[in-house]
Structure 1
Amino acid sequence: MKFVAFERKLQGTGASRRLRFAGKVPGIVYGAGEPAVIELDHNALYHAMKKEAFHSSLLDMELNGTVTKVLLRDYQMHPYKQQVLHVDFQRVDATTKITKKVPLHFVGEAESVAVKTDKCTVNHIITELEITCLAEQLPEFIEVDLSGLTVGHSVHVNDIKLAAHIKIVTHGKPNPVLATAVPPVVEEIVVAAAPAADKGKAKGKGKK
């Protein structure tokens, strides 16, 4: 994905506020050289950020006629408005080693025995994984095949087939669960017994 950034002349809280009023977003680019303060068109950035790839893949940033590879590292949103307040990008090259979260794409769920035969519900326990790799080798997403899932079983991190250059960061967890098959809930209908007649009252009806 490609986006256009512009050099930001003025800095400070007041200047950033005026930029936002003008439909711009202040930002910064760091790494591989001196930091550069930039501004971007808010609407173009806002719509780009709705796309998954903008958050998890290398981006081409055009600034002053030069295209540079960057990663979106951080952003700040308004507490209640649909407004981007600030963005941070990191310059990267072929030798830059990065650690970044990548979304998981689950496939084959409907064809699994757990869903097709046993009518299970598949819970996606984790929807993204943190990985370490060279920037140019960053995958846009990681595919998780659920076609072999059976009732009572789960798919773990170790079940994913990854390229040798990609390392998963699990923060001490040995083999986290990614998805699990949950059997359908069987509802039991309990029929209440009819209340027994009050024998005492029945016997006392004919007595005076």
Structure 2
Amino acid sequence: MKFVAFERTSQGTGASRRLRITGRTPGIVYGGANEATRIELDHNALWHAIKKEAFHASILDMEINGTVSKVLLRDVQMHPYKQLIQHIDFQRVEANTKLTMKVPLHYSGEEESDAFKVDHCLITHVLTELQVTCMPGDLPEFIAVDLTGLKKGASLHVKDITLPKGVTALVKGKENPVLVSVVAKAEEVEPDPAAAAAAAAPAAKGGKPAAKTPAKK
């Protein structure tokens, strides 16, 4: 994806507020051999761009003053309740330097698996994205995960999937986290008709029989 940005010289809270009033969004691009550059972007174009998955998970072409640079989206600051992007950060990408990025997981084949069709298990996507490290040229837009092999009682873990060439998963806390959980649904126990009838019998007769009153002499 390609977008156009413009250098900005003004800075500070007041300058950023005035910039937003004119329909522009302040931002910054940093990293690489060059110093950080303050930028501004058209808010409407940016608003539509951030709704696209590729804008968050792929290397972008940013044009400033006719020069195109490779960048990654690193942070988007939204207004607490308005549909307004208050600030945006990009990082320059160097071709010979590894990068770390969260990549979306695209699941498919779930409804064709035995876990779903035969055993009617409850299948939950625990993770929808995976943090990876790779060279810029190897960064995938998404990672495809085939779920047709899911079985009852066997969840899918990170080490169960094949990552694209040159891509390594970065996991924190757990060595092999769960991507997709497979849980058998609880079986509904049908009531025993005979037991239900026995329990209802005293109520139908008005409860326990009353005690006999001794006859008076």
Taking structure 2 as the reference length, what is the TM-score of the superposition?
Answer: 0.89
Please tell me the residue identity of whatever aligns with 2:61: D
Helix, strand or coil at the partner of 2:88: strand
- TM-align CA RMSD: 1.9
Partner of 1:120: 121
Q: CA deviation at 1:83?
A: 0.9
Helix, strand or coil at the partner of 1:34: coil
Q: CA deviation at 1:172?
A: 4.1
Unaligned runs of 5+ in 1: none
Please tell me the residue identity of whatever aligns with 2:67: T
Partner of 2:89: 88
The share of aligned pairs that are identical, in percent, is: 60
Is the 1:97–1:132 contact (alpha carbons within 8 Å) kept by the matching residues of 2? yes
Larger radius of gyration, structure 1 or 2? Answer: 2
Q: Which segment is superposed worse, 185-194 or 156-165?
A: 185-194
Partner of 2:2: 2
Structure 2: distance between partners of 1:200 and 1:181:
54
Count of matched residue positions in the alignment of Structure 1 and Structure 2: 207
Q: CA deviation at 1:120?
A: 1.7
User: How does 1:15-94 map onto structure 2 within 5 Å?
Assistant: 15-32=15-32, 33-94=34-95
Partner of 1:186: 187
Helix, strand or coil at the partner of 2:200: coil
Structure 2: distance between partners of 1:137 and 1:11:
36
Structure 2: distance between partners of 1:25 and 1:136:
29
Taking structure 1 as the reference length, what is the TM-score of the superposition?
Answer: 0.92
Partner of 1:200: 209
Structure 2: distance between partners of 1:108 and 1:50:
25
**Deviations 1:152-195 (CA, angstroms, capped at 9, x unpaired):** 11111111112341111112422111002222332234364205
Structure 2: distance between partners of 1:44 and 1:195:
73
Unaligned runs of 5+ in 2: none
Is the 2:58–2:72 contact (alpha carbons within 8 Å) kept by the matching residues of 1? yes
Partner of 2:13: 13
